[in-house]
């Protein structure tokens, strides 16, 4: 079973569990049905490296600059917390470098060289939307991820192309229970976890825990 099937099974179970009033009961049921399933990193070359994360969003959707920055920030925080001895180059340093450079936000290698990165994680966010409906929310995003090794002339060392993520994977969330901004942020968190999981060992069912928090805290 691949990661998409795991994700969909987890979200499907989550929808059923929303009827359970106790967070403790939800945790118990999910742990019984989904024991720890440790999944290795798809790319593990970031240990003890200086890493910069950049997300380039299409200008075709609302607030693309804020969206891209938020996703990049979320991904870098996950990498910083889970990859041993990684050194994250902050978004502020990207801003400072961009202010003094002629960067068109398309050349990830130029950025990597400019900020002194060993590794560049470039997220191409082609599309992100919140489904328009007066009573529900559902998100959909299309994106690709490329990793460049600056110590090897910017060679592409990992790619995850033509990814599509729907949130939630099955069903929708009622707009009566939360604001669009809160849903949008949780959707961006879902995208960020999905991307970051490629780069460190993780429990394949972390998505369930993430959405469990979403349901119980909304």
Residue 119 parent element (H or E): strand 119-130
pLDDT at position 67: 87
Q: What is the pLDDT of residue 122?
A: 96
Compute the distance between CA of residue 202 and CA of residue 218 in angstroms, rounded to an integer. 25
Predicted local distance difference test score (pLDDT) of residue 21: 42
Partner residues linked to 127 by β-bridges: 142
Per-residue pLDDT at 125: 93
- The reported pLDDT for the residue numbered 53 is 97
Provide the token pair at 165: 């993520």
Q: Are strands 202-203 and 50-57 parallel, antiparallel or unpaired?
A: unpaired
Confidence (pLDDT) at 30: 47
pTM of the entire predicted model: 0.77
DSSP string, 2-42: -HHHHHHHHHHHHHHHTT---HHHHHHHHHHHS---EE--S
- The stretches in the chain having pLDDT less than 70 are 1-36, 59-65, 104, 132, 206-218
64 Cβ contact partners less than 8 Å away, ≥ 6 residues apart: 57, 58, 125
Q: Which of 46, 138, 52 is nearest to 84 (CA)?
A: 46
pLDDT at 147: 98
- The domain spans of the chain are 1-40+203-218, 44-200
pLDDT of residue 158: 97
The CATH number of domain 44-200 is 3.40.50.2300: no
């Amino acid at each position: 079973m691949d990661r998409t099937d795991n994700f969909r099974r987890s979200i499907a179970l989550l929808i059923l569990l929303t009827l359970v009033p106790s967070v403790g009961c939800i945790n118990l049921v999910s742990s019984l049905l989904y024991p720890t399933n440790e999944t290795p990193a798809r790319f593990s070359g970031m240990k003890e490296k200086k890493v910069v994360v950049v997300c380039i969003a299409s200008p075709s959707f609302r607030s693309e600059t804020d969206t891209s920055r938020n996703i990049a920030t979320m991904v870098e925080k996950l990498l910083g917390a889970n990859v041993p001895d990684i050194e994250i180059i902050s978004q502020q340093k990207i801003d400072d470098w961009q202010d003094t450079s002629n960067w068109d936000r398309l050349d990830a290698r130029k950025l990597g060289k400019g900020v002194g990165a060993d590794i560049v994680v470039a997220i191409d966010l082609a599309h992100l939307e919140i489904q328009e409906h007066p009573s529900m929310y559902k998100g959909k995003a299309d994106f690709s991820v490329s990793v460049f090794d600056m110590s090897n002339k910017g060679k592409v060392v990992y790619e995850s192309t033509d990814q599509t993520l729907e949130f939630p994977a099955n069903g929708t969330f009622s707009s009566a229970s939360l604001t669009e901004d809160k849903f949008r942020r949780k959707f961006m968190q879902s995208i960020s976890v999905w991307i970051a999981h490629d780069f460190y060992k993780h429990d394949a069912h972390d998505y369930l825990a993430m959405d469990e928090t979403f349901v119980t805290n909304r």
